[in-house]
Structure formats: C-alpha cells, structure tokens
Structure 1
Amino acid sequence: MVRFRWINGARHGDGIGTTPHGRRHLIRMGVAPAVLLALVACGSDSGSVTDPANGGGGGDPPPTPAIALTVSPSSASVEAGGDASLTATVSRSGGFTGSVSVEVQGLPTGVTAAVGNPSTSGTTSTFSVGLETASTAAAGSVELTIRASASGVTAVTRPFALTVTAPPPDGNGNGGGGTGSTVTIDFRGCLAQDLPLWVGFQDGNSAWQQAEGGGDLFTFTLTADVGAYAWVSGPQDSPLTQVVYLTRSEFLAAQPILACMPPRGNASMTGTVAGLNDTQFAGFSLGLGFGFASGAAPQLAVTGMPEGTFDLIGVRSSAADPRPDRFLLRRDVAVTDGGSLGTLDFGGSDAFAPATAQLTVSGAGSAVTNGVMGYLTGERCLGNNASLGLLPGVGGGPTPIFGIPGDRQRDGDFHQLTVSSVSDSGELLDTRFFRTLIDVSVTLPPPVEPITTLVEGPYLRARTTFPIPQVYQGGEMGLAFFSLNQTGAGGSMDRTFSAAVSRARLASSGTAEVTIPDLSQAPGWQEVWAIPLGTPVQWFAGVSATSAPGGEPGNLCVEGAWVRQASRQGRL
C-alpha cells in the first residue's frame, strides 16, 4: 500500500481546497499530486480547561455516549494464498465504558477473517484483524466493511480495500489464474469533486484503454515492465486530467494506489475558544479538518474531518504579530459528526508556550522566500497535519521558528519544515522532517531550465526536456512533471492536463523528458476534456526527489526525511 502526503499549500497539510483554485494548486506549482511521495521508504487567562467529556463549560449539552473507529492501514494487496492484517482501534467517549466488538463484512469467496481479543488501555480498545486468502481466491479488488458495535451506542463502520493478485507466472509462462498483475487505483479518500469521471491505463507502450470499475475503485491488468494510468476529475467545464508513468515494480510496490491520502471527510464538531483577547485569533486542526475563532467571535466549528480518533492542535497569534505565542494540544479526540469539543482554553492545562529555534536559509537569491512549520501526529503521521505558523521573509538572515516542546511530544510525532523561494519564473522548495525542534540550516536546491515545445495531435499537446541536476538524482523516489493550464475569463482555469514520469522510467542519462499524451483514441475518453488546438496556455515543468531513509513505503515521518523540488513556468 502507498500513501500520498501533500507538502505545499496555504494551510500546511491541506494542499487541496485551501487556495483559490483548490485542487489545482499543487499542479500549478509543478507538483504531481498522485505520486509526489508515492514510493518513499504532513493573553488572558480564563481558568482551567473544560473537559468536553464532562459536559463542557456549564452551557454545553450533556455528552452523548459514542464510539469511534479507525482502521490502519486502510487497504492491503496480497497474492492469492497469502495473508494480510490490519488494526482496528475503537475509542469510547461521552461517558461510555462498555465492551465493544469488531467484525468484518463483505468477505468474498476464498477470503476469511479472524478478529483477535482486544487490548484495552483507558477508553481505547485495539483489535488485531487477520485476513487469509485461499490459493483459489479470484484476483481483483473488493471493499470490505470493518464494523464496531456495542450495546447502547450507535455502531460505526470503516471501509477497507483488499486487492488479491494472481501468483506470478511459473517457469512455463503460466499464471495462477491470470497472465499479469492486477493494479488498483483507490479514490475512496477523495472528496466528491475529485472523484474520477474517467480512468484509463497503458500496458507498456500499447494503446490506451479504459480501466474496469466505477465510483471510487478501478482496476487494470499490467503485463509489461512499464505502464501508466490516467484519470479525469472535476466538472465537465473545468476538467483536470492527470497521467502517471511508472515501472511495473513501482506499480506493484504501491498497491493499491491511493489517489487521495490522507482520506478526507465531512464530519464537523463545534466548541468555544477561551483565552483570546480582542486582537487575537486561533486556528485549529483536527485530523484534516480546520476551524477558526477570534476574541470577538469565540465560537468554533471544525469541519472537513473523517470520523475516527485524532489529535487536536490549536495555534494562537494576533493581527499585530502573526507568529504563534501559544499552542493547544489535546490528544485522542473522538471525531463524531455533530459532536462537541467543549471549551478549548489557551489558559488551561492543554495549552503551552511554543519551543523556539533558529532557521537560516541560503540559495534564495533575490526571490521571495517564505516558510511554513507543520506538525504531524498519529500512526504514520495520520493523526493530524497542522500548520504551526507561516514564516514570511526567511531568506534575509536567521529567523525564529516555533514548534512543540519535547515534553509535549509523543513517539511518532514529527515537525515538518517547508521553505519555498518563488519568482516570476518558478519555485524552489525544500521540505524536511524531524522530531525535536532544533536550529535548521537550509540551502535551497538549484533550478531547472526546461525547453518546452508543441507536439502534433488532435488537441493541444507539448513536451518538456531538461537536464536533471545531481541534487535531484538522490533519494528513493524521483519524478519529472509537466502540466498545461488553460486560463479562462477572470483567471479561472478551464482545463488542466498534467503528466508525471518516475525517475525509474527515465533514461539513465540524467535528462527528463515528459510529453502530454494523446488519449483521444482511448475508450470512454471525451474530447471536451482536452485543451483545444491554438489555445494559449501556461505551462509548469520541474523535478522532485524524495527520501525517507529506513522508512516504510509512503511514510515520511522518519528522522532526516526530505523532499526537494524545482519548477519553472512559461507560456505557449
């Protein structure tokens, strides 16, 4: 399984949906969203804090007994005859203390499940779930349902994507029920506007075909050493087409490919913020949800969360000084749609002063250089991905940075620092991950110099080529990327067409070449998604490299992990 983490955006950890162009922001900045990190190994004292589990601060309604369920991982790929496992964690809230049970629903023929006895600590119970596949199990993907239930509370469920692949061919070239490997593209973590209108694939260099499936799970069979997949999302009048070229080994290591990760949700919770004066405001992150409050408007609504158990992080600052002066960290909050967070008090026991260190940046030249400090929590850093503050103008000398003190950290917590240097022609970006806040020196990576030319075809196509600087040839994963953006009236992007090629698929000469493909003959493809010939477009081209030494695939919460990126832009 592979997960993708956004590293660029107005709000750290929310690379889509936080800019005027929402989901297109990463492409505009030259990032290929689906594979960027795909295969690597995001005042006044009002008294004490009020515990929402005890009814809030006097005016809060009594809490409702409830349970919340998280499943990790959310998917697995296994060869027929093999085993897979997952962990189901059930959190109790609202005064509920009863026993809970977990079951697996929707098992196909040839797949069985075994749920172990829970390990309980406080209000949390953890279940180990084993999945066993028979050698005769059919290859393909299925969505299982993990269900947690208890007497007196509403049962909760979570999806789990299981992909069963056929055994590799034997010495006579015969496969165990198939001649290739099943590749699954999983869109279940995406918001509605990002679900695909069409999904296609290319086996080797053969003709493009339409993938099987529908809704949020699509599959195809790969027999060649290389392949590609493509999908179109968004409304018909503003489509986004994305194409990714990988090697066979990269496809199989990434199974299933999670197009949107971490998953999004629509749950919301409300609360009241204390400890803000008239000039102060606070932002809160919970899971991938976000909310905002001020001294003048202390009522808080955190929205856009998947249900489950996550850490809540609040950051207080003021209009006069955007630097944070107070953090609030509440662990293991059970997210339930419509639930209450009670009172969140920056003068209470959950709140504390930031730790500080110094950032020094070189290599920015005359470009505008800014930074953002983020904080990641939870298993594989999926418990929260919060911004701890923007760092404007960091290229002019040592700059203070703010983080979480060591005595407030848990095992698995990581700081994430991103520095970007932006000019009219492009951007340089350096992101690094570290547990303990320390002084950091960043030398921005070198730029790239793409040559972009038009390519013949039934719609507007182009190609970019450029030498890949040595600094981008390190790390476990690298990408060259290229996108064309048609800009309509009022600056809206009518159509975007992007392509990314993994470094493993590029020639060993150290040169990147990325071409917008011709999908016009692919079954199901619609001409309206293409950029018409003769249309003025803005192009973005660049390269990225990612390293997480010793880490699991898709997990950047590793000491010393980094991402480097350079992009350029122009017009055709």
Structure 2
Amino acid sequence: MLRVRRLVAPLALSILFAACGGDGGATDPDPDPTGTLALSISPSSSSIEAGSSGSAVVTVTRGGGFAGSVSFTVEGLPNGVAAALSSATLAAGVSSAEIDLVVGAAVAAGTYTITVRASGSGVDPATATFTLTVTPAPPADFDVEMSQTTFTIEQGDSASASVLVERIGGFDGDVGLFVTGAPTNVRARVNPNTTADTIAELGIAVGIMVEPGTYPLVLTASENGPRERTVDLTLIVTPKPSAGTLTLSSSSVAVTKTIPSDPIVVRLDRAQGVTGEAEFSIESFPTGFSGAFTPNPTSGDSTVLVLELSTLAPTGTNSLVVRVTVGETTSTTALQVTSSTFVPPDFGLSIAPDVASVAAGTGTSVQVNIARTNFTDSVALSVVGLPAGMTATLTPPATDGAAVALDIATTVAVAPGVYPLTVEGTADGITGTRSATLSLTVNAPTGGGNIQWQFCDPARYPLWFGVRTGTSGAWTRVASEASADGIAFTFALDQAGQVAMVLDGASGVDITVFNTTPQEVLGLAARECADNRPTKTISGRIVNGINGLRGASIVAGGAGTIIPAGGSDFTLTGVKEGTTDIIAYLGVPENGEFRQFDRIIMRRDIDPADGAVMADFDFAMDDDQEWLFPQSANFTFRNLGGDMFTVTRSYLTANGNVGPIAFYQPRSDSVVGLYGVPEGFRRPGDLHQLVATTVNATAPRTVTGYNTNFNSSPVEFGPLLDAPTVTVANSSPVRIRAEGTWSASYGSAVGVSFLQATADSRSLSMTASRDFFGASGTWELESPDFAGAPGFDSNWLLRPGVATTHAVTATGIGQGVSITPADGTQIITGSRVGTITP
C-alpha cells in the first residue's frame, strides 16, 4: 500500500533519469535470447496531497536463466514532483526497492502517469507505470483540544490540564492561549500563553474566598490573523470543610487614619471534631489597611483584632473578610470598616452679602458667618481697612457660635469710592488668621445717585469712560481722578442707562458697553478692583515625584502652569496681588491633556512678594509628607445633543480664584471621572468649579457648576439658543444690531460681541440683564452712536468693509436661585456665532 507522508521539511533527493543517447560508440552485447526481466509496482496508483509525499515498492522478476544486477530509471515526472529509489541498482539476488515520491506544494491538482524502467545486461528492458493523482493541500489552520474540560476544585486549591494545539495544512505560526470568564479570586493561566509548539499547560487556582458554585470559563486560542478557536470549560468550586462559626464583638467599626481602632474580639465556635491551632487572617484589604491579631495562632477559641489605617487608605466604607483556618478547615465572617481622615481643627469666615453700598452719612448691616471644622472654641473678630469717617461694630466681637452681626456706619466726610473691608478672625490653637472681605461702595451724600468706578490694575485704565441715560441721547465723558489704589470715575446714574469704556487691548482697541440699572452698576463697579488686581510672578520647583511619566500642575491667584513629565522648575506669571493659596498637583499628562492626578499639596494664606521663590513642593512618600491623595468622582453630562464637549476643572478658595487645575480635551462619553481636592485640604467657603463647553462652531453651549464636597452629580447643558437676528444698522459710522426673544432657559442676561480680527483689531461688546429690559419679551442690543461724544475718537469704532465675527450669548440658571457661586449652583449659557460685513 502506498504510504503518504506530509512534507514537514525540505528533502534532498537524488532523482534518477534514463540516459538519452549512446555511450560514445560502444555496442551493447546482444541480449541473451533465453533471459527475461519483468517489473511491477505496488501499489500501482495512489493520491498524494500537494506538499506531501508517498512511497511504493518496485519488484523485478528475473527469468530464463538471467540472474544479474538490475538498474532503474524514472520517467515522466511532472514539474514539482521528485522521485528517489532506495537503491538505483539491484544486485544479483535482490528483487525489490522502495520508490519515494515528493509532491511540491505548487504542483497543480490532476492525474499523472510515471514510468519506472528496469535494465539488465543481456536482457530486454522492462517497464511498469504508476498513476499519481495529486489532490489540493488543505489550507493552513489549527485546532485546539483539552485533556479535560471540567475542573472540580476545592476553595484554596488548584488543578491543571494539557492544552493540545493541532496544526493543519503546514500552519507553523504562534498561537496565543488565554482564559476568560474567571470570577474574582480565581486565577486561570496558560503556560506558555503564546506557543509555536503543540502542547501547553492550563493552571487554575481558586482563592479561599471564592463562593462555591459552578462557573463557565472559555479557553481561546488565536493567531495573528482572523482565525480563533474556543473550548468551553466548566469550573466547579467546592467548599472547604467548615471550622465552625466565627463571630465578632462588633461587625462594623469606624477608624480614623493613623489612629488604631478599638479592640475587636474574634470568637470561634468550633465544629464537631475540629481541633488544633486556629490561625486568623484578614482578606480584601484596601491599600493602607493593616491589622494584627493577638494571639495568633492560638490553641484557644478567641483572639483580639486591632486595625490601623495609614494616610494611603481610602476614605469611606469597605467590607473586609476575617478568616480562621484550623488544619484543613476554614470559616469566615464580614467586617465593615468606615475610615475617615483626621481633619485638624479649623474655621473659615464668609460675609453675606459680600457686596454692599451706602450713601456717605448712612450705614448698613451684614452678617459674618463662621464655618467650623472640628472646632468649637471662641473666635475673636476684628475689622481692618476702615477709612477715616467709617466705623465697624461686631456684635459680639468674640463668639463660639456660627455668626455675628457687622454694622457699618459712615460720616458725610467719607469720600465716594469702593472700600474693601476685611474681617479677620483668630482663635487659640489655630495657626494664622482667617479672613473675609466686604466690598463696600460709598456714594456721595447728596442722594443724587453718584457712583464711583475705581480701577486698580494699570493695564485696565480706560482710554475713554462715558455714561448716558437710557440707550439714546448724548454721551457724557467722565474724567478720571486719582485714588489711593489707582484711578476712579465718578458719575450719576439714577435710572437705567449705559456705561461705556474704551480699553487699549493687546492687539487693538476694545469697547465695552454695559446696559445697566443703577443697582446693577453698583455691583459692577464694586467688582472691578476685586476681579482685576495687579499681578506678580513667583517661581519654585517640584521634587521627588516627577519622572518620565509624571508631570505637575501649579495654580495660584488665578494663574496656572504645567510642568511636563520629567521637568521640575516652574514660573507662575499673573498671580493676583494679595493673600491667596497655592496648589501643586502631581499626575500623568495624557494625550495633550492633564487630567490624571496622584497627589496634591495645598499651601494656604500665602502672600509672596513679586519674584519670590517658593519652598520646594516635595511629593516624597514619607512620615511627614505634605501631600494628600486627591478625591475622585464620576460626573454625568446630559443633553449633549450629539456634540462633543471639553471640561475645565478649577478650585476656588475663600481667598480668591486659585485657578484651573485640569483640562479635558473634546470627548463624547457622557460619564467623565474627575479629580478634586480632598476633604483634608478644604475650608469653608471653598468650591470646586467645573466648566463644560460643547464643541460647536456656530452654537456652543456652556454649563458652569459649583460643588463643595465633590460628590458625583449630573451636569446638564441647556438647549441650543434660538438664532438671533444680526443686521447692519448703519455703515458709516458702523453700527450693528442684534435682537432676539427671551427664552425660558436663558432668561437672566444677554451679551453680544463684535470682533474684527485684523492686525490692529477692533472689538465691541455689550451686555444687559433681563431687569434692564423690564417686562419686554424681546431684547435688542445695538452699537451705540458715539458721534459727538466729547473726547471719543472715531478710529476706535468698528471699521466698514471688514468681516466681523459676532457672538450672542444668553445666560440662565440651570439649578439654584442665585448667580453667586455656591454649592450646587449651575449656570448655563447658549451662544450663536456668525459673521457679517458692515
């Protein structure tokens, strides 16, 4: 029978071919007329796959007295087929030889006739034919089998089985092997997990905590391509014999980090026949947890457990497992541990309201609130920053309560202006001073509606400042006057009107117009110096933490900068003057954004001089470390309407806006994990700020949310803003008009900006509240006509024939009742952007 062999490696074969032609003139002797030679092949035909081999036996029969040697040749071999004989010449007395046929992988399928010729001296040659049928080779492939598919394993034990990889059609690539579906605390691994061989081993280890039951697993074998094979496995986990009933003196315990817990008595009521030493252990420990049993092990039935938590332990409730093992038996019970961070005693101050106004000669009252953290002792209060002619009375001046009254009285001698009054608080055992500021505007005593708008930042000193009553009529230029902190503009506005200022911007001229009520303009004037203080530059460095993966984010006084991975030094420019806080965040920059934080350092109540070098921010992990782990929470973003959106995270402290801490690039996932300041660094009055903006070139939307405790909360965008009507009201000088209808979602205020982004740019922005328009259901904002306004330079105006980008933004309150930042407040805006050429 023909033996067919799969080709597994190249073969070197000697192929014998018959000589074609004479021997140089020699003459063969005449054959012996009595001698005979016969030839046969067994089998005479067979099928061989392309890329494989086979063999047959060639037999000669000598007769008529012929007994000599016989030689063979093979004829008619198709291209790609090779033949080799075990012996090309049969000696006298030998009657058979083996012929091997090797079919190349490229040989076409079909039937071929091969002739074997036998020759001997003095006899006629003999021939026999062999029919070769070549069949196509199977495609390269593989399959996988297991020596067993069901595993019954006791808790805490393991088992193994062989994985067999069958290779087909010459496949010789690597095969990856892995197991999926394993429950928690079950380890299923194949060794090796990638193999070029045909056998591997699967090991399954079952943890002692795995619940008894049946679990489906899947073994997957895959190669670097589309082929994949699977085998379904069944894991049956059986229980360890019980040691008995395990009980705790308390099944739940509260532990403060770094302070040991109260002792917990652990008792074992042994099962019948269970004897020997009992060994106790704790499982499901989060990072930072540790515990000690005394005694352990014990020949008795009870022990005492004391837990300790380091600063690395997470805050919250965690479920631990207490286990006892006696010989081959075991029992468990659950222990709930609620961990918290030790928060040092502290307090913070706030003033409600923090912006007020009086006429000289009158007074006002506000409330000073004291927010306490692990602190109940008395707080002593005082007021600083009082000008001549102004007095402040705190009732009482020291208290162990939550609030005191602050009464401000002025004489007619107090000059009109904005006065920042600071309430300071001190207490025994608390390092430093806590403070809050009241921005008090003092108006002229005549009752004529005099208002003083003071500028403290020289970069914002206006080129021109003017007012007018209503939205038509003549503009009045207001002259500047020197003040203690900069310059001021004093004017009267006893009904709704407009206040305009022209600023020399970085790349051109910016005109801002406030459409305002007398009450609103007081607030605007009061915020000018509070929001636009002079700035300074500070520097420093990060040590012990930054590496090839980690970088840092530094923020203080409204300024921030990023130290890339591998850096150390930083410089912060634009830090607002006055007392502030500084935060350093260590983390991992990812894909152009800085959003993953590992550790945070916060330094409170600092007021470094311009050019100051800060002490090193050290993120080393040691006993006196300055840093804490950040807090994290998932925030859900709603009403995206198919838009992608960006997120900016900031932290606002009671000392002022610290600045942005993280930026998240455009994304479409509606749930985003964000990082915040941990409880151990927070003070009353601090707020996390989140600003999310949709990526929409013509209709962006923004939601600004505030959160104290950094709990997960939904963030909801408003609807698309209805498109306003924007037209050219006048072309020389240029005046552009925008108008629209108030909506239920955006009913608080509206703003319009026009920008001509040329080399010497021109911009005009206008704002108005709903109160300014009264009961009207529509709004209209038009570039003012400054023609004839004293001192106004027409070159400041928008230019005709220049493409102008217009943006209309309307504001609403998505949640809460006040636009003042507070815990839970969400402010939504909707915008429309377009272009127009006047």
The SS at the match of 1:472 is coil
1:267 pairs with 521, 536, 545, which one? 536
Q: CA deviation at 1:326?
A: 2.1
Q: Which residue of 1 aligns with 2:443?
A: 165
Q: Output one character per residue of 1:43-99: Cα deviation in whole Å (capped at 9) or x when no partner.
A: xxxxx9xxxxxxxxxxxxxxxxxxxxx999998632222236999xxxxxxxxxxxx
The SS at the match of 1:469 is coil
Change (3 A) 1:305 1:487: closer
Alignment partners' CA distance in 2, 1:299 and 1:435: 31
Query: Percent same amino acid at aligned positions?
Result: 25
The SS at the match of 1:81 is coil
Change (3 A) 1:566 1:71: closer
Q: CA deviation at 1:243?
A: 0.3
The SS at the match of 1:308 is coil
Q: Which residue of 1 aligns with 2:738?
A: 464
Q: Which residue of 1 aligns with 2:633?
A: 357
Q: Which residue of 2 aligns with 1:51?
A: none
2:549 pairs with 256, 279, 283, which one? 279
The SS at the match of 2:595 is coil
Q: Which residue of 1 aligns with 2:660?
A: 387
Q: Which residue of 2 aligns with 1:455?
A: 729
The SS at the match of 1:356 is strand
Q: Which residue of 2 aligns with 1:210?
A: 477
Give the number of the structure with larger relative contact order, counting CA–CA contacts within 8 Å between residues 6 or more apart: 1
Alignment partners' CA distance in 2, 1:144 and 1:561: 26
Q: CA deviation at 1:235?
A: 4.7
Alignment partners' CA distance in 1, 2:814 and 2:360: 32
Q: Is the CA contact 2:559–2:659 (under 8 Å) kept in the aligned structure 1?
A: no
TM-score normalised by length of structure 1 = 0.68
Matched, 1:564 2:828: yes
1:198 pairs with 436, 455, 464, which one? 464
Return 5+ residue gaps in structure 1 as ranges.
1-47, 49-69, 88-100, 121-127, 149-158, 168-176
Q: CA deviation at 1:196?
A: 1.2
Matched, 1:377 2:653: yes
How many residues matched?
446
Alignment partners' CA distance in 2, 1:211 and 1:396: 52
Q: CA deviation at 1:507?
A: 5.0
1:397 pairs with 650, 653, 670, which one? 670
- Larger CA deviation: 448-457 vs 322-331: 322-331
The SS at the match of 1:482 is strand
Matched, 1:183 2:451: yes
Change (3 A) 1:143 1:430: closer
Return 5+ residue gaps in structure 2 as ranges.
1-310, 312-348, 369-381, 399-404, 425-436
Alignment partners' CA distance in 1, 2:509 and 2:658: 28
Alignment partners' CA distance in 2, 1:368 and 1:260: 36
Q: Is the CA contact 2:514–2:768 (under 8 Å) kept in the aligned structure 1?
A: yes
1:535 pairs with 780, 802, 826, which one? 802
Q: CA deviation at 1:268?
A: 2.6
Change (3 A) 1:472 1:76: closer
Q: What residue identity is the alignment partner of 2:682?
A: Q
Q: Is the CA contact 1:232–1:242 (under 8 Å) kept in the aligned structure 2?
A: yes
Alignment partners' CA distance in 2, 1:310 and 1:350: 18
The SS at the match of 1:340 is coil
Alignment partners' CA distance in 2, 1:288 and 1:424: 27
Q: What residue identity is the alignment partner of 2:606?
A: A
Q: Is the CA contact 1:460–1:534 (under 8 Å) kept in the aligned structure 2?
A: no
Q: Which residue of 2 aligns with 1:508?
A: 775
The SS at the match of 1:258 is helix
Q: Which residue of 2 aligns with 1:78?
A: 358
Q: CA deviation at 1:341?
A: 1.9
Q: CA deviation at 1:403?
A: 1.2
Q: Is the CA contact 2:585–2:601 (under 8 Å) kept in the aligned structure 1?
A: no
Q: Is the CA contact 2:383–2:421 (under 8 Å) kept in the aligned structure 1?
A: no
Q: Is the CA contact 1:202–1:208 (under 8 Å) kept in the aligned structure 2?
A: yes
Q: Which residue of 1 aligns with 2:615?
A: 342
Change (3 A) 1:292 1:360: closer
Q: Output one character per residue of 1:291-321: Cα deviation in whole Å (capped at 9) or x when no partner.
A: 4434543122233223433221122233446
The SS at the match of 2:700 is strand
The SS at the match of 2:771 is helix
Give the 5 Å matches for 1:5-20: none
Q: What residue identity is the alignment partner of 1:406?
A: E
Q: Which residue of 2 aligns with 1:315?
A: 585
Q: CA deviation at 1:323?
A: 2.2
Q: Which residue of 1 aligns with 2:708?
A: 435
TM-score normalised by length of structure 2 = 0.48
Q: Which residue of 1 aligns with 2:126?
A: none
Q: Which residue of 1 aligns with 2:749?
A: 479
Change (3 A) 1:292 1:390: closer
Change (3 A) 1:181 1:139: farther
Change (3 A) 1:457 1:160: farther
Alignment partners' CA distance in 1, 2:533 and 2:729: 37
Q: CA deviation at 1:570?
A: 0.9
Change (3 A) 1:365 1:201: same
Give the 5 Å matches for 1:180-259: 180-188=448-456, 190=457, 192-205=458-471, 206-214=473-481, 216-224=487-495, 226-235=496-505, 238-252=508-522, 254=523, 256-259=525-528
Change (3 A) 1:221 1:422: same
Change (3 A) 1:197 1:76: farther
Alignment partners' CA distance in 2, 1:363 and 1:117: 48
Alignment partners' CA distance in 2, 1:559 and 1:75: 19
Q: What residue identity is the alignment partner of 1:133?
A: T
Q: What residue identity is the alignment partner of 2:808?
A: A
Give the 5 Å matches for 1:103-114: 107=388, 111-113=389-391
Give me the CA root mean square deviation: 3.8
Change (3 A) 1:161 1:462: same
Q: What residue identity is the alignment partner of 1:346?
A: F
Matched, 1:423 2:696: yes
The SS at the match of 2:520 is helix
> More strand per residue: 1 or 2?
2
Q: Is the CA contact 2:502–2:509 (under 8 Å) kept in the aligned structure 1?
A: yes
Q: CA deviation at 1:433?
A: 0.8
Alignment partners' CA distance in 1, 2:600 and 2:506: 43
